[in-house]
């Protein structure tokens, strides 16, 4: 085998495109491994771990790293790289009119009311978002790794202009049924959601959609979601103080088509949560607060409270592939998540049952995993969507490489008793994520029957199709829940069934 590594200065493509390029090149005959990526610190580590020798570079360089069979033609492989990198969109008829180069320039070309969706690397996101705000447009900032001070500056400016900043690190929004970022396709209705949490929002969307379908099947007027406005996971922190949540609530309160508003959030700063509770009492539209935290309700309980408030009983949340004979194969729980809020929710439930658990997004600082370490000799929860694990990489909903590696490591550890996973469907996610996760689950269970419990967050209207994804996971040996809280409780239950369980 031989390696070919080259740097392309000045070349740029986003991490999702480069992931697709890497996969396309990897499928070329003679190519053993291919990694085309921007030379960020994290990507250089990955290249190093693959055994590539990368020359000195800057994060603005593109690295093309190829491992070829001895008789393979380097030029041919590079041709495949170039072909995969070539833009697929046809050029416009008028060659003197180039596409806009900044968000501001693009917004000048669209009418008023246009919404900006920014997903450039975090260091450049604020600049693009400001373009939208200063020309009076709302903006959704999907990008993570945006400094906190910049978020505060953006939201302070937006508040002075009555504009809405969804994000930074806002994974999900649904506006008039149009999904932005990672969003599920859901039944339309009269519920409004404000979410300081992307996957928390998606869990709520999935549960409410399922309940709506069940109600419709019984002939009851279904329920559904009109808007889901993401505000970014830090919006209810002390530093940001709920600036975007307040604006989102104002918008939804003013919308006559919204009967009920739900606020979901990662664990908020207590003083911000208290202020929010006071303010929501003063709104004309009823507000259900679903703020995660110790002693607070889980997301499924929040969905049930919303249903109750609208006069409906909650359905039985679906479970597939349950094996009554299953039992933990060791003392420890391994939670490996792509959704940060789903990870948070599971940790809160697990902590009640098991005591403190370690994580890269710990519930308190003393529970942090050691830097660079994702597995410890106690119960561990990893959020692969955390900023530190996505620098220069696509989100794990698109690029499962890191999590799949970690599933294998957890399975190889004899103390692993249960593996708890999530899988999120919807716009923006992998077209067939189960096909990438199922082999990892099968491999993990090859030597011993480690129970694998998955919360599969999605709807039957999502592009991937909920049923097909679920069936593929069940066929690989997983037990699949729609409710993440349900999946977590099941994992904890299985852990109790192991002989000689230690706490």
Partner 1 sequence: MSQTTAPTVVTCGADMFADAVAGQAVDVERVDWRPPMPGTEADLAAVATDARRVEANRTAVEAMLGVTAHLVDVAPASEVLGLEKGQFLHAGPPIEWERASGPLRGALMGGAALEGLVDDPEDAVALFESGSTVSLEPCHHRSAVGPMAGVVTPSMWMWVLEDRATGRRTYCSLNEGLGKVLRYGAYNDEVLTRLRWMGDVLGPLLQAAVRGTSEATDVTGILTQMLQMGDEAHNRNRAGTLMLLRDLSPAMVTSAEDGGFAAKDVADVLRFVGGNDHFFLNLAMPACKLALDAGRDVPGSTMVVAMARNGTDFGIQVSGTGDEWFTGPAQVAEGLFLGDFGADDANPDIGDSAITETAGIGGFAMATAPAIVRLVGGSVPDALATTRRMHEITLAENPRWSVPVLEFQGTPTGIDVSKVCRTGILPQINTGMAGAVAGVGQVGAGLVTPPAEIFPKALAALAARVPR
| Contacting residues toward partner 1, per CB under 8 A | 12, 14-17, 58, 60, 95-107, 109-111, 113-121, 123-124, 126-128, 130, 132, 134, 137, 142-143, 147, 149-150, 153-154, 157, 175-181, 227, 251-252, 254-255, 394, 398, 427-428, 463
Residue closer to partner 1 (CB basis): 251 or 309 = 251
**Is residue 148 within 8 Å of residue 124, measured between CB atoms?**
no
With a CB cutoff of 8 Å and minimum separation 6, the contacts of 110 are: none
Residue closer to partner 1 (CB basis): 90 or 500 = 90
Nearest to 197 by CA among 272, 117, 265: 265
The Cα 188–Cα 368 span in angstroms is 40
Half-sphere exposure in the Cβ direction for 113 (13 Å, CA): 2
Q: How far is the CB of 214 from partner 1 (least distance, A)?
A: 25
Residue closer to partner 1 (CB basis): 180 or 411 = 180
**Is residue 400 within 8 Å of residue 159, measured between CB atoms?**
no
Q: How far is the CB of 234 from partner 1 (least distance, A)?
A: 16
**Is residue 113 within 8 Å of residue 120, measured between CB atoms?**
no
Residue 223: other Cβ atoms inside 10 A: 24
Q: How far is the CB of 309 from partner 1 (least distance, A)?
A: 21
* Residue 419 C-alpha from the chain's centroid: 19
Nearest to 388 by CA among 47, 58, 122, 173: 122
Q: How far is the CB of 35 from partner 1 (least distance, A)?
A: 18
Residue closer to partner 1 (CB basis): 89 or 503 = 89
Q: How far is the CB of 147 from partner 1 (least distance, A)?
A: 7
Residue closer to partner 1 (CB basis): 58 or 220 = 58
Q: How far is the CB of 27 from partner 1 (least distance, A)?
A: 19
Give kind and range of the element (H or E) at residue 163.
Answer: none
Q: How far is the CB of 338 from partner 1 (least distance, A)?
A: 16
141, two tokens: 């900032």
Residue closer to partner 1 (CB basis): 49 or 88 = 88
Q: How far is the CB of 96 from partner 1 (least distance, A)?
A: 4
Residue closer to partner 1 (CB basis): 181 or 458 = 181
The Cα 380–Cα 377 span in angstroms is 8
CB-based burial label for 372 (10 Å; 0-12, 13-18, 19+): exposed
Residue closer to partner 1 (CB basis): 175 or 314 = 175
Q: How far is the CB of 497 from partner 1 (least distance, A)?
A: 41
Q: How far is the CB of 156 from partner 1 (least distance, A)?
A: 8
With a CB cutoff of 8 Å and minimum separation 6, the contacts of 281 are: 287
Ramachandran region, residue 346 (left: φ > 0; alpha: ψ -120 to 50; beta: rest): alpha
Give kind and range of the element (H or E) at residue 109.
Answer: helix 103-109
Residue closer to partner 1 (CB basis): 103 or 300 = 103
If you ran DSSP here, which 8-state letter would residue 331 be given?
A: S
Residue closer to partner 1 (CB basis): 134 or 442 = 134
The Cα 234–Cα 279 span in angstroms is 19
Residue closer to partner 1 (CB basis): 229 or 407 = 229
Which residues is 228 bridged to in the sheet?
174, 193
With a CB cutoff of 8 Å and minimum separation 6, the contacts of 288 are: 260, 261, 262, 263, 302, 305, 306, 309
With a CB cutoff of 8 Å and minimum separation 6, the contacts of 245 are: 194, 196, 231, 235, 236, 263, 265, 276
Residue closer to partner 1 (CB basis): 204 or 229 = 229
Q: How far is the CB of 127 from partner 1 (least distance, A)?
A: 4
**Is residue 234 within 8 Å of residue 180, measured between CB atoms?**
no
Q: How far is the CB of 162 from partner 1 (least distance, A)?
A: 12
């Amino acid at each position: 085998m031989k390696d070919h590594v080259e740097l392309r200065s000045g070349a740029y493509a986003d991490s999702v495109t480069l992931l697709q390029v890497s996969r396309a090149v990897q499928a070329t005959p003679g190519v053993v491994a291919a990694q085309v990526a921007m030379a960020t610190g994290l990507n250089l580590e990955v290249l190093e771990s693959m055994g590539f020798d990368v020359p000195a570079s800057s994060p603005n360089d593109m690295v093309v790293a190829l491992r070829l069979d001895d008789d393979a033609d380097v030029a041919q492989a590079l041709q495949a790289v170039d072909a995969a990198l070539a833009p697929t969109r046809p050029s416009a008829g008028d060659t003197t009119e180039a596409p806009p180069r900044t968000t501001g320039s693009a917004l000048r070309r669209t009418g008023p009311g246009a919404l900006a969706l920014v997903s450039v690397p975090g260091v450049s996101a604020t600049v693009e978002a400001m373009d939208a705000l200063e020309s009076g447009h709302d903006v959704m900032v999907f990008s993570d790794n945006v400094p906190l001070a910049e978020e505060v500056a953006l939201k302070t400016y937006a508040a002075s202009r009555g504009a809405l900043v969804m994000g930074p690190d806002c994974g999900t929004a649904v506006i008039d049924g149009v999904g932005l970022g990672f969003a599920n396709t859901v039944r339309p209705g009269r519920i409004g959601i404000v979410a300081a949490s992307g996957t928390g929002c998606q869990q709520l969307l999935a549960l409410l959609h399922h309940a709506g379908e069940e109600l419709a099947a019984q002939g009851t007027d279904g329920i559904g979601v009109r808007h889901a406005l993401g505000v970014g996971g830090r919006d209810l922190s002390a530093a940001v103080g709920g600036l975007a949540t307040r604006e989102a609530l104002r918008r939804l309160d003013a919308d006559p088509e919204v009967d009920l508003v739900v606020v979901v959030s990662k664990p908020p700063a207590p003083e911000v949560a208290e202020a929010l509770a006071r303010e929501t009492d003063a709104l004309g539209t009823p507000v259900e607060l679903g703020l995660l935290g110790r002693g607070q309700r889980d997301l499924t309980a929040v969905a049930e409270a919303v249903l109750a408030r609208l006069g409906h009983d909650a359905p039985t949340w679906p479970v597939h592939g349950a094996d009554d004979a299953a039992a933990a194969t060791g003392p420890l729980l391994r939670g490996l998540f792509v959704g940060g809020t789903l990870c948070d929710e599971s940790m809160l439930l697990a902590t009640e049952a098991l005591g403190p658990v370690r994580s890269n997004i710990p519930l308190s600082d003393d529970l942090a995993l050691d830097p660079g370490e994702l597995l410890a000799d106690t119960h561990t929860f990893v959020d692969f969507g955390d900023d530190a694990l996505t620098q220069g990489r696509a989100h794990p909903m698109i690029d499962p490489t890191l999590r799949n590696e970690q599933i294998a490591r957890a399975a190889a550890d004899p103390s692993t008793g249960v593996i708890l996973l999530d899988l999120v469907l919807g716009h923006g996610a992998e077209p067939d994520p189960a096909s990438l996760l199922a082999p990892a689950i099968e491999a993990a269970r090859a030597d011993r029957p480690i129970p694998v419990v998955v919360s599969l967050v999605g709807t039957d209207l999502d592009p991937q199709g909920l049923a097909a994804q679920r069936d593929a996971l069940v066929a690989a040996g997983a037990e699949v829940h729609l409710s993440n809280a349900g999946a977590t409780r099941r994992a904890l239950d299985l852990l109790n069934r192991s002989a000689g369980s230690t706490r």
